[in-house]
Structure 1
Amino acid sequence: MGDIAVIGLGAMGRPIARNLVRAGHDVVVWNRSDGPADELVAAGARRAASVAEAVRAPVVFSVLSDDRAFAETFLDSGVLTHARGGAVHVNLATVSAGLARRAEAVHTGHGVAYVAAPVFGRVPVAEAGALNILAAGAHGPVDRVLPFFDVIGSRTWRLGERPEQANVVKILGNYLIACAIQSLGEAVSVAEGAGVDPGQLVELLTSTLFPGTVHTGYGSMIAERRYQPAGFTTLLGRKDLHLALDAAADHGIPLPTGELLRAVFDQAVADGRGEDDWAAVTEQQPRATAADRRT
């Protein structure tokens, strides 16, 4: 069995696995559908016939979409009985704090270390091997997987010894992005109503008050009303917003803005924007046309 297995070859899993192959690691891959695995095998990876075979690797990375997919694949299937003692499983997905706690307990029961390592960075960042990795778990297992993190990321942030801590930080980061998207949409909506060119507004704001990838990237998408191809869908954004609300509720802390955003995201999905980029939630705001701005 190889150095490392990568389970889940979606938009993020593919570049992560490819970079590990390019770095010279012996990579075993598994995916529900064959196409992504075929692509990685052609690049030099080896295909596992099943998840049970893949988890026999000494280090396993998984990049699955949500709590349900992760639980079905690893926690409820009995597949961890096939893992080798002393293995490390790194979950790169954004999942709830509650699932992280359950996952750690189940893995410990099978003699497998569990590390949470969600990431900041979209697909192009993953392709460049420049992700920011939010890692939490016992020191020894995290130390063991740092060389792999160095391949796929530009920096690893060690956030604590409890895996859930990394997931909470990731969820809060996505929550703040959702807040920024909504506020950008509100500002663009008012500016359009006053006849201001939205592109010029975004250029001004991101060149002065709000530089950075979030306001620059999402601001241009909102100004241009460009929501495809989706880098991160509204459905996924709604999932992470609900995770943030749940995490806050766990600690008895209100998120008033989050409650407002819940209604915005729910309506955007109801309006058929679930597969658009989550910047599309700003279409819930009144938007002026170019002709309106000229009058």
Structure 2
Amino acid sequence: MNPKISIITISYNNCDGLEKTIKSVTSQSLNDFEYIVIDGGSNDGSKEIIEKYADKISYWVSEPDKGIYNAMNKGIKAANGEYLLFLNSGDELYNQHVISDVFNEIFDQDIISGNLFHIDETKSDILISPENVDYKHLIYNTIWHPCSFIRRDKFELIGLYDENLKIVSDWKWFLLAIAKYNCSYKKINHVIAKFYADGISSNEENKELIKFEREKSLNEEFPLLLDLYDEYEVYFFNYHLVKKKYNLLLQSRIIIFLKKLGFYKYFEKHKID
């Protein structure tokens, strides 16, 4: 009988992050799942880390690959679980009971998303997955893969991740799943993973590449949605510009003086979050 869940970790030259991830998976209170580790032929001791925990890993390989999505596709091909969770090196399951909590949920949808504990250099907070997802949400947002369980047979229907893309292939896959193949979605109220925002898609230098790859994907798959994407671009640009100027205004001496005179509640009420 195939396992309910396969957890897939991909890694390349990130031995410390890899061990952190492996520990969070292998320390689960419920271990009735498959664990797969795909390493890209690292030379920093990652292979030795994998061998250290080999008795708790269902399948692993350490060999050169062609990038992130090639490695993720290798994991999909090796997996036997009904649902797949991608937890890449450096990220962690939120606590020791995540898999147990998920097993206690009743679901048969194609994509199951929990919440994500997001950590960056300045703060940490819990990101709440939406109750419902449609193409309007995905046109400028995404479904976070570290907290999402994907039915494995949907990769047979939709295809594997597009290896021609460097950053947004998971976003493209979710967009196809929801907007083209009408896959079902369910949000569950559990924090699934800790995500450390130091990866390729979190880097400010890659924002232009993300925009380019999204527009390229939309043009190939949903050309009629390009105008909607451009409208969102303008909206978010204007929103952040106004927010920045307004918050600078709130720091001015005149506004600080007015707050002291009793106008504080007014400015708090009209604060732009």
User: What band does the TM-score fall into relative to the shorter chain?
Assistant: 0.3 to 0.5
> 1 or 2 for the larger relative contact order (CA 8 Å, sep ≥6)?
2
Structure ranking higher in strand proportion? 2
Q: Please, what TM-score do these two structures have when normalized by structure 1?
A: 0.32
Q: Please, what TM-score do these two structures have when normalized by structure 2?
A: 0.34
